[in-house]
């Protein structure tokens, strides 16, 4: 009876999730078509506030990716055996969020067809070029790691009938048998790649922070703390996402599961608190004497028109409630999962508050009155279309996750780890 109720509840939730996904996908495809057919016309960013929601989404997703990856490998490097099981899942989450990040920034380009120029004519003096090269390397590394980790499971799956078998054979490039030696070599490679991955993830995500921090013209970004803040933010949001994914989607809700989730919860709690400390430094130092180039901008972030992005989304929903859940309900995996989900989703508010405020202040006083044009405004609120494009990216990410979750030996391999 009890199982029946649980099953019912489960399928109820699955129904809701499927419905939400369909809505996201339909709206998202509309957004995608708008982007492909009409370029940037429907977007609200302009020539002055020239980066908007998509850039924020990009740093958000890429942070999730770096965070999930770093957390899993740091745990691994630190030899915390009980987390080893989530290694493959973490890699998978990391690969998907990276794809989501790349898609978001690709949509943002003025010439999407020219993205490869960054490979054929890079300027390595530019932080942006570094970042792209580093995350390309990281992407290849994550894919290779994922493939190596999944190979044993895929080999087993290759013998099955139907779609699962076909998919496994496709991913194995037809080589459906592996020797013990190959497996051992694969494991060795996994270790080596994992070792390379940590500094790579640190440098590329630190690099994303540096992309902003090196811009001398924007005092709001131009702070040495930024690359560090990006890393802690990545670890906090990526870790929180991982906690939520494991809490809600792990097939066997046994004691081990509970111990993994609550363990990640504790780590995320620590990083979240550290992140808040850095943020306090960032705001308090710049604002203390109520004067200086950043003061007014930060006042706008805290008490301006969009105050709720900071206070409601970031502080209340993204920090206080998760911290409460991690501290007071730290032994309850579902509560930790809810806290993780909240912290991970609302971290987008932090990303928006990084990108937009720096751009809403005219570089020269009076510029805001000098030439009337809808694209030459010093204000910005993302358009519905911009959100729709993000919905597309999210729906696609969920779809890839679902394919892996359902038809690839992601969880099974994790369980066998």
Partner 1 sequence: MEWAISRRRLLSRVTSSALAFAISSAAGVMRLSAAETKTGFDPGEPPPPDADVLLRMQYELRKALQKPVDQRKWVMVIDLRKCVGCHACTIGCVVENKLPPGVVYRPVIEEEFGTYPNVGRRFIPRPCMQCQNPPCVPVCPVNATWKRPDGVIIIDYEKCIGCRYCITACPYNARTFDFGEYFTDGTPHRAPYEEAPSFEYGKKWYRKNEDSPIGNARKCHFCLHRVEKGQLPMCATTCIGRATYFGDANDPDSLVSELIAKPNVMRLKEELGTDPHVYYLT
User: 326, 392, 313, 404: which is closest to 61 by C-alpha?
Assistant: 392
User: 56, 88, 57, 60: which is closest to 72 by C-alpha?
Assistant: 88
Q: Are 414 and 89 in contact (CB under 8 A)?
A: yes
Interface characters, 365-404, with partner 1 (x: CB under 8 A): xxx-xxx-xxxx----------------------------
CA contacts within 13 A on the Cβ side of 56: 28
Sign of the dihedral defined by the CA atoms of residues 387, 390, 396, 398, in that order:
negative
327-332: list long-range contacts, CB under 8 Å, 24+ apart. Answer: 327/269, 330/262, 330/265, 330/266, 330/269, 331/258, 331/262, 332/262
In the complex with partner 1, the residue whose CB is nearer, 245 or 356, is: 356
In the complex with partner 1, the residue whose CB is nearer, 79 or 366, is: 366
Lookup: tokens for 333: 């995996």
C-alpha span between 290 and 287 (Å, rounded):
5
Angle of CA points 73, 60, 394, to nearest 5°: 100
Stretch that binds partner 1, among 20-28, 160-168, 182-190, 214-222 (CB under 8 A): 214-222
In the complex with partner 1, the residue whose CB is nearer, 51 or 274, is: 51
In the complex with partner 1, the residue whose CB is nearer, 125 or 162, is: 125
In the complex with partner 1, the residue whose CB is nearer, 11 or 50, is: 50
Q: Does 215 bind partner 1 (CB under 8 A)?
A: yes
C-alpha span between 319 and 198 (Å, rounded):
26
Stretch that binds partner 1, among 40-48, 61-69, 81-89, 155-163 (CB under 8 A): 40-48
Q: Does 359 bind partner 1 (CB under 8 A)?
A: yes
Size of the site for partner 1 (CB under 8 A): 46
- Within positions 149 to 208, which residues make up the interface with partner 1, using CB under 8 A? none
* Shortest reach from residue 170's CB to partner 1, in Å: 33
In the complex with partner 1, the residue whose CB is nearer, 92 or 138, is: 138
Q: Enumerate residues 6+ apart whose C-beta is below 8 A from 261.
A: 243, 246, 247, 250, 333, 336, 337
In the complex with partner 1, the residue whose CB is nearer, 151 or 218, is: 218
* Shortest reach from residue 373's CB to partner 1, in Å: 6
* Shortest reach from residue 358's CB to partner 1, in Å: 8
Residue 312 gets which letter from DSSP? I
* Shortest reach from residue 307's CB to partner 1, in Å: 24
Return the residue of 12, 14, 19, 39 that touches partner 1, per CB under 8 A. Answer: 39
* Shortest reach from residue 141's CB to partner 1, in Å: 21
Stretch that binds partner 1, among 37-45, 67-75, 291-299, 315-323 (CB under 8 A): 37-45
In the complex with partner 1, the residue whose CB is nearer, 207 or 233, is: 207
Stretch that binds partner 1, among 44-52, 155-163, 196-204, 404-412 (CB under 8 A): 44-52
Q: Are 246 and 257 in contact (CB under 8 A)?
A: yes
User: 341, 344, 339: which is closest to 266 by C-alpha?
Assistant: 339
Residue 182 Cα distances to 158, 310, 412, angstroms: 17, 51, 20
In the complex with partner 1, the residue whose CB is nearer, 1 or 120, is: 120
* Shortest reach from residue 62's CB to partner 1, in Å: 15
C-alpha span between 284 and 355 (Å, rounded):
19
- Within positions 93 to 152, which residues make up the interface with partner 1, using CB under 8 A? 108-111, 114-115, 117-118, 121-123, 125-129, 132
* Shortest reach from residue 376's CB to partner 1, in Å: 6
* Shortest reach from residue 58's CB to partner 1, in Å: 11
Q: Are 49 and 222 in contact (CB under 8 A)?
A: no
Return the residue of 358, 390, 393, 410 that touches partner 1, per CB under 8 A. Answer: 358
Q: Does 317 bind partner 1 (CB under 8 A)?
A: no
207-210: list long-range contacts, CB under 8 Å, 24+ apart. Answer: 207/127, 207/130, 207/131, 207/134, 208/59, 208/62, 208/63, 208/131, 210/127
* Shortest reach from residue 364's CB to partner 1, in Å: 6
**Residues binding partner 1 (CB under 8 A):** 39-41, 46-48, 50-51, 108-111, 114-115, 117-118, 121-123, 125-129, 132, 211, 214-218, 358-359, 362-367, 369-371, 373-376
């Amino acid at each position: 009876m009890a199982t029946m109720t649980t099953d019912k509840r489960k399928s109820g939730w699955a129904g809701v999730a499927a419905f939400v996904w369909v809505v996201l996908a339909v709206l998202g495809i509309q957004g995608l078509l708008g982007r492909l057919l009409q370029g940037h016309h429907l977007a609200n960013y302009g020539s002055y506030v020239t980066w908007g929601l998509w850039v924020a989404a990009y740093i958000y997703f890429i942070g999730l990716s770096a965070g999930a990856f770093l957390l899993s490998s740091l745990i691994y490097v630190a030899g915390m055996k009980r987390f080893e099981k989530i290694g493959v899942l973490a890699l998978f989450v990391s690969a998907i969020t990276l794809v989501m990040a790349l898609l978001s920034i690709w949509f943002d380009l003025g010439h999407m067809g020219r993205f490869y120029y960054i490979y054929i004519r890079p300027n390595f003096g530019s932080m942006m070029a570094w970042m792209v090269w580093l995350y390309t390397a990281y992407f290849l590394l994550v894919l290779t790691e994922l493939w190596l980790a999944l190979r044993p499971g895929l080999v087993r799956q290759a013998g099955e009938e139907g779609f699962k078998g076909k998919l496994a054979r496709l991913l194995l490039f037809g080589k459906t048998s592996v020797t013990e030696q190959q497996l051992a070599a694969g494991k060795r490679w996994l270790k080596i790649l994992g070792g390379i991955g940590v500094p790579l993830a640190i440098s590329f995500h630190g690099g994303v922070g540096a992309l902003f921090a090196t811009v001398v013209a924007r005092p709001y970004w131009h702070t040495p703390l930024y690359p560090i803040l990006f890393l802690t933010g990545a670890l906090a949001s990526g870790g929180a996402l991982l906690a939520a994914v494991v809490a809600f989607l792990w097939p066997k809700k046994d004691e081990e599961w509970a111990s993994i989730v609550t363990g990640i919860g504790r780590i995320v709690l620590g990083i979240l608190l550290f992140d808040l400390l850095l943020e306090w430094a960032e705001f308090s130092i710049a604002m203390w004497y109520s004067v200086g180039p950043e003061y007014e901008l930060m006042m706008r972030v805290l008490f301006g028109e969009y105050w709720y992005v900071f206070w409601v989304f970031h502080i209340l929903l993204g920090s206080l409630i998760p911290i409460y859940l991690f501290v007071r309900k730290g032994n309850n995996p579902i509560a930790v999962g809810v806290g993780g989900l909240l912290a991970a989703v609302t971290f987008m508010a932090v990303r928006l508050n990084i990108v937009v405020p720096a751009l809403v202040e005219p570089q020269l006083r009076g510029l805001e009155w000098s030439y009337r044009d809808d694209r030459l405004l010093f204000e910005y609120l993302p358009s519905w279309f911009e959100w729709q494009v993000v919905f597309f990216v999210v729906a696609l990410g969920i779809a890839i996750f679902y394919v892996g979750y359902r038809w690839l030996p992601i969880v099974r391999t994790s369980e066998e780890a």
